Protein backbone atom coordinates (compact mmCIF):
# COMPACT_ATOMS: atom_id res chain seq x y z
CA UNK A 1 0.00 0.00 0.00
CA UNK A 2 1.40 3.38 -1.04
CA UNK A 3 1.02 6.17 1.52
CA UNK A 4 1.56 9.89 1.13
CA UNK A 5 3.45 11.62 3.89
CA UNK A 6 2.16 14.78 5.51
CA UNK A 7 4.30 17.94 5.43
CA UNK A 8 6.07 19.22 8.51
CA UNK A 9 3.45 21.48 10.10
CA UNK A 10 5.93 23.12 12.47
CA UNK A 11 8.03 24.35 9.55
CA UNK A 12 4.85 25.48 7.80
CA UNK A 13 3.73 27.37 10.91
CA UNK A 14 7.12 29.06 11.39
CA UNK A 15 7.14 30.09 7.71
CA UNK A 16 3.67 31.63 8.01
CA UNK A 17 4.77 33.39 11.21
CA UNK A 18 7.81 34.94 9.49
CA UNK A 19 5.85 36.00 6.41
CA UNK A 20 3.08 37.55 8.51
CA UNK A 21 5.64 39.42 10.59
CA UNK A 22 7.35 40.54 7.36
CA UNK A 23 4.13 42.05 6.00
CA UNK A 24 3.58 43.81 9.34
CA UNK A 25 7.05 45.34 9.28
CA UNK A 26 6.75 46.36 5.61
CA UNK A 27 3.57 48.26 6.59
CA UNK A 28 5.47 50.11 9.28
CA UNK A 29 8.74 50.71 7.44
CA UNK A 30 7.46 51.65 3.96
CA UNK A 31 4.35 53.78 4.52
CA UNK A 32 6.16 57.12 4.91
CA UNK A 33 8.43 56.51 1.93
CA UNK A 34 5.53 55.31 -0.23
CA UNK A 35 3.42 58.36 0.66
CA UNK A 36 6.05 61.09 0.39
CA UNK A 37 8.74 59.64 -1.85
CA UNK A 38 9.44 60.15 -5.52
CA UNK A 39 11.34 57.26 -7.02
CA UNK A 40 11.77 54.96 -9.97
CA UNK A 41 11.12 51.23 -9.61
CA UNK A 42 12.34 49.06 -12.49
CA UNK A 43 11.94 51.90 -14.96
CA UNK A 44 8.50 53.04 -13.71
CA UNK A 45 8.18 56.48 -12.14
CA UNK A 46 6.23 56.71 -8.89
CA UNK A 47 5.41 60.01 -7.20
CA UNK A 48 3.97 58.93 -3.86
CA UNK A 49 0.52 59.47 -2.40
CA UNK A 50 -0.32 55.84 -1.53
CA UNK A 51 1.11 54.77 1.81
CA UNK A 52 0.14 51.13 1.15
CA UNK A 53 1.91 50.97 -2.22
CA UNK A 54 4.66 48.58 -1.13
CA UNK A 55 2.39 46.60 1.19
CA UNK A 56 -0.08 45.79 -1.60
CA UNK A 57 2.74 44.64 -3.86
CA UNK A 58 4.24 42.55 -1.06
CA UNK A 59 0.89 40.85 -0.36
CA UNK A 60 0.59 40.04 -4.07
CA UNK A 61 4.04 38.44 -3.97
CA UNK A 62 3.07 36.51 -0.85
CA UNK A 63 0.04 35.12 -2.69
CA UNK A 64 2.19 34.08 -5.66
CA UNK A 65 4.87 32.69 -3.35
CA UNK A 66 2.30 30.69 -1.39
CA UNK A 67 1.04 29.08 -4.60
CA UNK A 68 4.63 28.33 -5.66
CA UNK A 69 5.41 26.87 -2.23
CA UNK A 70 2.36 24.59 -2.32
CA UNK A 71 3.30 23.40 -5.81
CA UNK A 72 6.90 22.74 -4.76
CA UNK A 73 5.66 20.93 -1.65
CA UNK A 74 3.56 18.55 -3.74
CA UNK A 75 6.31 17.79 -6.27
CA UNK A 76 8.39 14.75 -5.21
CA UNK A 77 12.01 15.82 -4.65
CA UNK A 78 13.02 13.08 -7.12
CA UNK A 79 11.64 15.37 -9.86
CA UNK A 80 14.38 17.93 -9.17
CA UNK A 81 16.96 15.16 -9.16
CA UNK A 82 15.88 13.92 -12.59
CA UNK A 83 15.80 17.38 -14.15
CA UNK A 84 18.74 18.99 -12.33
CA UNK A 85 20.68 19.67 -15.54
CA UNK A 86 17.77 21.47 -17.20
CA UNK A 87 17.12 23.54 -14.06
CA UNK A 88 20.77 24.59 -13.78
CA UNK A 89 21.02 25.46 -17.49
CA UNK A 90 17.88 27.63 -17.33
CA UNK A 91 19.35 29.39 -14.27
CA UNK A 92 22.59 30.06 -16.18
CA UNK A 93 20.67 31.32 -19.21
CA UNK A 94 18.76 33.82 -17.07
CA UNK A 95 22.05 35.12 -15.65
CA UNK A 96 23.40 35.63 -19.16
CA UNK A 97 20.23 37.34 -20.40
CA UNK A 98 20.44 40.18 -17.84
CA UNK A 99 23.95 41.02 -19.09
CA UNK A 100 22.64 41.62 -22.63
CA UNK A 101 21.99 45.37 -23.16
CA UNK A 102 18.33 46.10 -23.76
CA UNK A 103 17.03 42.94 -22.12
CA UNK A 104 17.93 43.87 -18.55
CA UNK A 105 16.43 46.32 -16.05
CA UNK A 106 18.91 48.17 -13.88
CA UNK A 107 18.13 48.90 -10.23
CA UNK A 108 20.46 50.02 -7.41
CA UNK A 109 23.33 49.98 -9.89
CA UNK A 110 22.96 46.27 -10.68
CA UNK A 111 21.72 44.66 -13.89
CA UNK A 112 20.00 41.77 -12.10
CA UNK A 113 16.36 42.12 -13.14
CA UNK A 114 14.22 41.05 -16.10
CA UNK A 115 10.97 42.95 -16.55
CA UNK A 116 7.90 40.76 -17.03
CA UNK A 117 4.90 43.00 -17.56
CA UNK A 118 4.11 44.94 -14.37
CA UNK A 119 6.67 42.97 -12.33
CA UNK A 120 10.38 42.22 -12.48
CA UNK A 121 12.31 39.17 -11.35
CA UNK A 122 15.85 39.11 -10.00
CA UNK A 123 17.54 36.26 -11.84
CA UNK A 124 20.40 35.91 -9.36
CA UNK A 125 17.91 34.92 -6.65
CA UNK A 126 16.57 32.02 -8.71
CA UNK A 127 20.12 31.06 -9.71
CA UNK A 128 20.87 30.19 -6.08
CA UNK A 129 18.20 27.48 -6.14
CA UNK A 130 19.43 26.26 -9.53
CA UNK A 131 22.97 25.79 -8.23
CA UNK A 132 21.76 24.10 -5.03
CA UNK A 133 19.83 21.50 -7.03
CA UNK A 134 22.77 21.00 -9.41
CA UNK A 135 25.31 20.48 -6.62
CA UNK A 136 23.02 18.15 -4.66
CA UNK A 137 22.47 15.99 -7.76
CA UNK A 138 26.14 15.88 -8.81
CA UNK A 139 27.48 15.18 -5.32
CA UNK A 140 24.90 12.44 -4.65
CA UNK A 141 25.64 10.82 -8.03
CA UNK A 142 29.40 10.80 -7.50
CA UNK A 143 29.19 9.40 -3.97
CA UNK A 144 32.65 8.45 -2.71
CA UNK A 145 34.18 9.60 -6.01
CA UNK A 146 33.40 13.18 -4.99
CA UNK A 147 36.53 13.16 -2.82
CA UNK A 148 38.68 12.67 -5.93
CA UNK A 149 40.43 15.77 -7.24
CA UNK A 150 39.91 15.79 -11.02
CA UNK A 151 36.72 13.82 -11.58
CA UNK A 152 35.09 14.58 -8.24
CA UNK A 153 35.62 18.15 -7.04
CA UNK A 154 36.65 20.03 -10.19
CA UNK A 155 33.33 19.85 -12.20
CA UNK A 156 31.13 21.23 -9.36
CA UNK A 157 33.70 23.95 -8.66
CA UNK A 158 33.73 25.00 -12.31
CA UNK A 159 29.93 25.29 -12.34
CA UNK A 160 29.97 27.19 -9.04
CA UNK A 161 32.65 29.56 -10.40
CA UNK A 162 30.56 30.18 -13.52
CA UNK A 163 27.49 31.08 -11.45
CA UNK A 164 29.61 33.27 -9.16
CA UNK A 165 31.25 35.20 -12.01
CA UNK A 166 27.97 35.86 -13.84
CA UNK A 167 26.36 37.23 -10.67
CA UNK A 168 29.47 39.27 -9.75
CA UNK A 169 29.43 40.86 -13.23
CA UNK A 170 25.94 42.30 -12.67
CA UNK A 171 27.37 43.35 -10.09
CA UNK A 172 25.61 41.72 -7.13
CA UNK A 173 28.38 40.78 -4.74
CA UNK A 174 26.06 40.11 -1.81
CA UNK A 175 24.16 37.40 -3.68
CA UNK A 176 27.42 36.07 -5.15
CA UNK A 177 28.85 35.70 -1.62
CA UNK A 178 25.70 33.87 -0.43
CA UNK A 179 25.90 31.54 -3.43
CA UNK A 180 29.59 30.82 -2.81
CA UNK A 181 29.06 30.19 0.91
CA UNK A 182 26.10 27.89 0.25
CA UNK A 183 28.07 25.90 -2.32
CA UNK A 184 30.98 25.57 0.11
CA UNK A 185 28.79 24.22 2.91
CA UNK A 186 27.14 21.73 0.55
CA UNK A 187 30.51 20.48 -0.72
CA UNK A 188 31.83 20.05 2.81
CA UNK A 189 28.67 18.17 3.86
CA UNK A 190 28.96 16.11 0.67
CA UNK A 191 32.38 14.84 1.75
CA UNK A 192 34.77 17.04 -0.22
CA UNK A 193 38.47 16.84 0.60
CA UNK A 194 38.97 19.97 2.70
CA UNK A 195 42.57 20.41 1.58
CA UNK A 196 41.59 20.33 -2.10
CA UNK A 197 38.62 22.63 -1.46
CA UNK A 198 40.78 25.16 0.37
CA UNK A 199 43.51 25.22 -2.30
CA UNK A 200 41.03 25.58 -5.14
CA UNK A 201 38.80 28.28 -3.63
CA UNK A 202 40.68 30.51 -1.16
CA UNK A 203 43.50 31.77 -3.48
CA UNK A 204 41.23 32.71 -6.44
CA UNK A 205 38.62 34.26 -4.14
CA UNK A 206 41.31 36.29 -2.36
CA UNK A 207 42.58 37.47 -5.75
CA UNK A 208 39.05 38.46 -6.75
CA UNK A 209 38.53 40.48 -3.55
CA UNK A 210 41.90 42.22 -3.96
CA UNK A 211 41.18 43.05 -7.61
CA UNK A 212 37.71 44.34 -6.78
CA UNK A 213 38.98 46.65 -4.05
CA UNK A 214 41.87 47.86 -6.24
CA UNK A 215 40.01 48.40 -9.51
CA UNK A 216 36.58 49.52 -8.27
CA UNK A 217 36.68 53.22 -7.25
CA UNK A 218 33.58 52.77 -5.06
CA UNK A 219 34.92 49.78 -3.12
CA UNK A 220 37.39 51.43 -0.78
CA UNK A 221 35.05 54.26 0.35
CA UNK A 222 32.49 51.58 1.27
CA UNK A 223 35.05 49.73 3.33
CA UNK A 224 36.09 52.96 5.04
CA UNK A 225 32.46 53.80 5.85
CA UNK A 226 32.07 50.31 7.32
CA UNK A 227 35.18 50.67 9.48
CA UNK A 228 34.33 54.21 10.59
CA UNK A 229 30.91 55.56 9.48
CA UNK A 230 31.42 58.61 11.67
CA UNK A 231 34.27 59.80 9.45
CA UNK A 232 31.65 60.74 6.83
CA UNK A 233 28.27 60.61 8.60
CA UNK A 234 26.64 62.86 5.98
CA UNK A 235 28.08 61.00 3.01
CA UNK A 236 29.27 57.39 2.67
CA UNK A 237 28.64 56.64 6.34
CA UNK A 238 25.06 57.94 6.33
CA UNK A 239 23.26 54.56 6.02
CA UNK A 240 25.19 52.84 8.78
CA UNK A 241 25.07 55.87 11.08
CA UNK A 242 21.27 56.10 10.72
CA UNK A 243 21.01 52.34 11.33
CA UNK A 244 22.98 52.78 14.56
CA UNK A 245 20.62 55.58 15.63
CA UNK A 246 17.61 53.31 15.01
CA UNK A 247 19.02 50.38 16.97
CA UNK A 248 20.18 52.61 19.83
CA UNK A 249 16.82 54.36 20.07
CA UNK A 250 15.04 51.01 20.36
CA UNK A 251 16.72 50.22 23.68
CA UNK A 252 15.31 47.30 25.65
CA UNK A 253 11.60 47.45 24.84
CA UNK A 254 11.51 49.59 21.67
CA UNK A 255 9.48 52.64 20.74
CA UNK A 256 6.42 50.57 19.82
CA UNK A 257 5.13 49.32 16.49
CA UNK A 258 4.82 52.18 14.01
CA UNK A 259 6.45 54.65 16.39
CA UNK A 260 9.96 54.66 14.95
CA UNK A 261 11.32 57.91 13.48
CA UNK A 262 14.26 56.70 11.36
CA UNK A 263 11.88 55.51 8.64
CA UNK A 264 10.85 59.16 8.15
CA UNK A 265 13.27 59.33 5.22
CA UNK A 266 16.32 59.34 7.51
CA UNK A 267 17.20 55.68 7.06
CA UNK A 268 17.64 54.74 3.37
CA UNK A 269 16.05 51.45 2.23
CA UNK A 270 14.18 51.11 5.52
CA UNK A 271 11.72 48.60 4.03
CA UNK A 272 14.34 46.50 2.21
CA UNK A 273 18.02 46.34 3.18
CA UNK A 274 17.62 47.99 6.60
CA UNK A 275 14.29 46.62 7.79
CA UNK A 276 16.14 44.91 10.66
CA UNK A 277 17.07 48.36 11.98
CA UNK A 278 13.39 49.32 12.01
CA UNK A 279 12.61 46.10 13.89
CA UNK A 280 15.29 47.00 16.45
CA UNK A 281 13.99 50.54 16.86
CA UNK A 282 10.30 49.69 17.22
CA UNK A 283 10.50 46.35 19.06
CA UNK A 284 13.73 46.85 20.98
CA UNK A 285 16.09 44.20 22.28
CA UNK A 286 13.27 42.01 23.62
CA UNK A 287 11.23 41.99 20.41
CA UNK A 288 14.32 41.51 18.25
CA UNK A 289 15.40 38.56 20.40
CA UNK A 290 12.01 36.88 20.02
CA UNK A 291 12.16 37.47 16.26
CA UNK A 292 15.65 35.94 16.07
CA UNK A 293 14.51 32.92 18.08
CA UNK A 294 11.70 32.30 15.58
CA UNK A 295 14.19 32.66 12.74
CA UNK A 296 16.60 30.26 14.41
CA UNK A 297 13.77 27.77 15.02
CA UNK A 298 12.90 27.86 11.31
CA UNK A 299 16.51 27.17 10.32
CA UNK A 300 16.98 24.39 12.88
CA UNK A 301 13.71 22.74 11.83
CA UNK A 302 14.78 22.86 8.18
CA UNK A 303 18.14 21.37 9.11
CA UNK A 304 16.47 18.65 11.18
CA UNK A 305 14.28 17.67 8.21
CA UNK A 306 17.31 17.62 5.89
CA UNK A 307 19.38 15.40 8.17
CA UNK A 308 16.45 12.99 8.64
CA UNK A 309 16.21 12.36 4.88
CA UNK A 310 17.73 9.04 3.87
CA UNK A 311 18.27 10.15 0.27
CA UNK A 312 21.59 12.00 -0.16
CA UNK A 313 20.18 14.34 -2.82
CA UNK A 314 17.25 15.34 -0.59
CA UNK A 315 19.52 15.84 2.41
CA UNK A 316 22.01 18.02 0.51
CA UNK A 317 19.24 20.04 -1.16
CA UNK A 318 17.66 20.76 2.23
CA UNK A 319 21.03 21.74 3.71
CA UNK A 320 21.60 24.04 0.73
CA UNK A 321 18.24 25.78 1.14
CA UNK A 322 18.72 26.26 4.90
CA UNK A 323 22.27 27.56 4.37
CA UNK A 324 21.11 29.96 1.63
CA UNK A 325 18.40 31.49 3.83
CA UNK A 326 20.59 31.52 6.94
CA UNK A 327 23.57 33.16 5.21
CA UNK A 328 21.37 35.80 3.61
CA UNK A 329 19.81 36.65 6.97
CA UNK A 330 23.25 36.78 8.59
CA UNK A 331 24.66 39.07 5.89
CA UNK A 332 21.64 41.39 6.00
CA UNK A 333 21.64 41.73 9.80
CA UNK A 334 25.44 41.95 9.83
CA UNK A 335 25.30 44.91 7.46
CA UNK A 336 22.56 46.65 9.49
CA UNK A 337 24.52 46.27 12.73
CA UNK A 338 27.89 47.22 11.22
CA UNK A 339 29.34 43.76 11.80
CA UNK A 340 30.17 43.31 8.11
CA UNK A 341 30.19 45.69 5.12
CA UNK A 342 26.80 46.60 3.68
CA UNK A 343 25.98 44.41 0.67
CA UNK A 344 22.37 45.29 -0.11
CA UNK A 345 20.72 41.88 0.27
CA UNK A 346 17.17 41.68 1.70
CA UNK A 347 16.22 39.95 4.94
CA UNK A 348 14.56 36.64 3.92
CA UNK A 349 10.76 36.52 4.40
CA UNK A 350 10.81 40.00 6.01
CA UNK A 351 12.11 42.65 3.58
CA UNK A 352 10.04 44.03 0.75
CA UNK A 353 10.98 42.30 -2.51
CA UNK A 354 9.26 39.75 -4.71
CA UNK A 355 12.12 37.64 -6.06
CA UNK A 356 13.77 37.03 -2.69
CA UNK A 357 10.45 36.15 -1.08
CA UNK A 358 9.47 33.86 -3.96
CA UNK A 359 12.78 31.95 -3.88
CA UNK A 360 12.64 31.54 -0.08
CA UNK A 361 9.09 30.20 -0.32
CA UNK A 362 9.94 27.82 -3.16
CA UNK A 363 12.94 26.64 -1.15
CA UNK A 364 10.65 26.10 1.85
CA UNK A 365 8.29 24.17 -0.42
CA UNK A 366 11.17 21.86 -1.35
CA UNK A 367 11.94 21.37 2.36
CA UNK A 368 8.27 20.51 2.94
CA UNK A 369 8.42 18.04 0.05
CA UNK A 370 11.42 16.39 1.71
CA UNK A 371 9.55 16.32 5.03
CA UNK A 372 6.64 14.53 3.36
CA UNK A 373 8.97 11.79 2.18
CA UNK A 374 10.59 11.56 5.62
CA UNK A 375 7.15 11.23 7.25
CA UNK A 376 6.06 8.70 4.62
CA UNK A 377 9.07 6.53 5.36
CA UNK A 378 8.36 6.83 9.09
CA UNK A 379 4.73 5.79 8.56
CA UNK A 380 5.78 2.77 6.50
CA UNK A 381 8.23 1.70 9.18
CA UNK A 382 5.49 1.92 11.81
CA UNK A 383 3.13 -0.16 9.65
CA UNK A 384 5.79 -2.81 9.14
CA UNK A 385 6.55 -2.89 12.86
CA UNK A 386 2.88 -3.54 13.67
CA UNK A 387 2.60 -6.49 11.28
CA UNK A 388 2.74 -9.88 13.02
* Cross-strand bridge partners of residue 15: none
> 10 Å Cβ neighbour count for 86?
11
Provide the pLDDT for residue 349.
96
DSSP-assigned letter for residue 192: -
Average pLDDT, the chain: 87
Q: Is 24 exposed, middle or buried (0-12, 13-18, 19+ CB in 10 A)?
A: middle
Provide the pLDDT for residue 43.
47
Provide the pLDDT for residue 50.
76
Q: Is the dihedral of CA 346, 347, 351, 354 positive or negative?
A: positive
Per-residue pLDDT reduced to its tens digit, 245-275: 999 999 999 999 989 999 988 898 899 999 9
In this predicted structure, the answer to whether residue 114 has a pLDDT above a threshold of 80 is: no
Q: Give mean pLDDT, residues 130-147.
A: 92
Q: Give mean pLDDT, residues 201-227.
A: 79
Higher-confidence residue of 380 and 74: namely 74
In this predicted structure, the answer to whether residue 231 has a pLDDT above a threshold of 90 is: no
Provide the pLDDT for residue 134.
96
In this predicted structure, the answer to whether residue 357 has a pLDDT above a threshold of 90 is: yes
C-alpha distance from residue 373 to each of 76, 78, 223, 370, 381 (Å): 8, 10, 46, 5, 12
In this predicted structure, the answer to whether residue 166 has a pLDDT above a threshold of 80 is: yes
Per-residue pLDDT reduced to its tens digit, 90-103: 999 989 888 877 65
With a pLDDT cut of 70, the percent of the chain lying above it is 91
Per-residue pLDDT reduced to its tens digit, 343-355: 889 999 999 988 9
Asked whether 349 and 66 are in contact (CB, 8 A), the reply is no
Q: Give mean pLDDT, residues 327-346.
A: 91
* Cross-strand bridge partners of residue 107: 110
Return d(Cα 271, Cα 31) in angstroms, integer: 9
Per-residue pLDDT reduced to its tens digit, 37-72: 655 554 455 555 678 889 999 999 999 999 999 999
Provide the pLDDT for residue 351.
95
User: DSSP secondary structure string, 157-182?
Assistant: HHHHHHHHHHHHTTT-HHHHHHHHHH
C-alpha distance from residue 176 to each of 23, 138, 214, 245, 348 (Å): 27, 21, 19, 29, 16
Confidence of residue 1 (pLDDT cuts 50, 70, 90): very low
In this predicted structure, the answer to whether residue 285 has a pLDDT above a threshold of 90 is: yes
Q: What is the distance of C-alpha 279 from the center of its chain?
A: 19
Return d(Cα 387, Cα 379) in angstroms, integer: 13
Q: Give mean pLDDT, residues 130-151.
A: 90
Provide the pLDDT for residue 179.
94
Return d(Cα 364, Cα 211) in angstroms, integer: 36
Higher-confidence residue of 140 and 50: namely 140
Question: How, if at all, do strands 44-46 and 39-41 pair?
Answer: antiparallel
In this predicted structure, the answer to whether residue 199 has a pLDDT above a threshold of 90 is: no
Highest-confidence segment of 154-163, 219-228, 296-305, 347-356: 296-305
Provide the pLDDT for residue 201.
84
Q: How far apart are the first and last CA of the chain?
A: 17
Return d(Cα 31, Cα 29) in angstroms, integer: 6
Q: What is the helix (H) or strand (E) element at residue 47, kind and residue range?
A: none
User: DSSP secondary structure string, 109-155?
Assistant: TEEEEEEETTEEEEHHHHHHHHHHHHHHHHHHHHGGGGGSIIIIIHH
Asked whether 145 and 152 are in contact (CB, 8 A), the reply is yes
Per-residue pLDDT reduced to its tens digit, 201-211: 888 888 887 88
In this predicted structure, the answer to whether residue 213 has a pLDDT above a threshold of 60 is: yes
Provide the pLDDT for residue 183.
95
Confidence of residue 317 (pLDDT cuts 50, 70, 90): very high
| Cα 46-52-53 angle, rounded to 5 deg | 30
Min mean pLDDT across 1-5, 196-200, 212-216, 303-307 is at 1-5
Q: Give mean pLDDT, residues 327-338.
A: 94
pTM of the model: 0.90
Q: Give mean pLDDT, residues 278-297.
A: 96
Provide the pLDDT for residue 83.
92
Provide the pLDDT for residue 227.
82
Amino acid sequence: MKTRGVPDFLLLFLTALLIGFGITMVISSSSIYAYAGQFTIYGCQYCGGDELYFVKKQIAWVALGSAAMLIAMNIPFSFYKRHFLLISLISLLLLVVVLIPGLDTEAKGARSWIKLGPASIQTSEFAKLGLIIYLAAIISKKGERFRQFKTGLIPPLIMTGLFFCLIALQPDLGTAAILLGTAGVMMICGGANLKHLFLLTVPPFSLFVFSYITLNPHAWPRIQSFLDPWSAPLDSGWQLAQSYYALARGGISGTGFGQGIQKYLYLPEAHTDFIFSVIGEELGFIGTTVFLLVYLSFLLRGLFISLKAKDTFASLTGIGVVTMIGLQALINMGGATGSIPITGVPLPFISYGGSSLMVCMIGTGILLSISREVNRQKALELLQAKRP
